[in-house]
Amino acid sequence: MAKSIDGKQKLNNSFFEQQDVVHIARQLLGKRLVTENQGVRTAGIISETEAYAGRTDKASHAWNGRYTSRTATMYGRGGSIYVFLCYGIHSLFNIVTNKKGVPDAVLIRGVIPTEGMAAMLQRRKAEKVTASLADGPGKVSQALGIHYSYTGMMLDEEQEGFRVWVEEGQSLHPGDVAAAPRIGIDYAKEDADLPWRFYIKKAHRKR
């Protein structure tokens, strides 16, 4: 396992090649998501995730084996990133999981900022660091400088001055974590109520 500059353990790629995307989504809570963009480093503790279970999940872009130029990256190997444009404005950041050919992914829906506050404030056009600075999937990408054009890269791969990876972060107790239905997927019908969104309960959040 490689160590980053401040000594935190980067997650091994085998973590993202596990087969249970729901389990991975839960385990990512408390981990640290780090980016470097043109030399600017920003990071936050992952506080909210959602699992999307590939072909068998009606809420997934890859439902029923849907394969297009956009969703092709979901079929890459675990540990690659899937970033897509939502509502014409927002880049939504996912980490692809499972083996190559199985289009599972975890959407990162929220982080608690820990590093690079000045850069995140500037990108978010905010003046103060608050709990809402990066508590939504579009906000996460904006704060961390993740653009949808980066889709298809591997975690820890550098391209055009950009790199993103995941490190060990804070340990959580089972009671710190809540599960709930995913957001904005009413169209998924019988899959819309699956409790595949995970978040750190607010009372347990800390730096």
Residues near DNA (CB under 7 A) are 50, 52, 59-61, 68-71, 74, 82, 84-90, 92, 94, 105, 107, 124, 132, 136-140, 182-185, 187
State the minimum distance, in angstroms, from the CB of residue 182 to DNA.
7
Q: At what angle do helices 117-124 and 137-144 cross, to 10 degrees?
A: 120
Of 9 and 152, which has the nearer Cβ to DNA? 152
- Beta partners for residue 53, in sequence order: 104
Of 73 and 170, which has the nearer Cβ to DNA? 73
State the minimum distance, in angstroms, from the CB of residue 197 to DNA.
10
State the minimum distance, in angstroms, from the CB of residue 14 to DNA.
22
3-state helix, strand, coil in the chain (%, to 5): 25, 30, 45
Of 11 and 107, which has the nearer Cβ to DNA? 107
- Beta partners for residue 52, in sequence order: 105
Of 109 and 163, which has the nearer Cβ to DNA? 109
Using left for φ > 0, alpha for ψ between -120 and 50, and beta otherwise, residue 127 falls in alpha
Q: Residue 82: how many CA atoms within 13 Å on its side-chain side?
A: 27
State the minimum distance, in angstroms, from the CB of residue 61 to DNA.
4
State the minimum distance, in angstroms, from the CB of residue 32 to DNA.
19
- Contact indicator for 96, 103 with CB cutoff of 8 Å: yes
Of 54 and 116, which has the nearer Cβ to DNA? 54
* Tokens encoding 164: 């993103």
State the minimum distance, in angstroms, from the CB of residue 186 to DNA.
8
Among the listed residues 204, 191, 206, the one whose alpha carbon sits nearest the alpha carbon of residue 50: 191
* Tokens encoding 139: 């906000």
Dihedral angle of Cα 73, 77, 78, 81, to the nearest 10 degrees: -30
- Contact indicator for 24, 13 with CB cutoff of 8 Å: no
Of 5 and 186, which has the nearer Cβ to DNA? 186
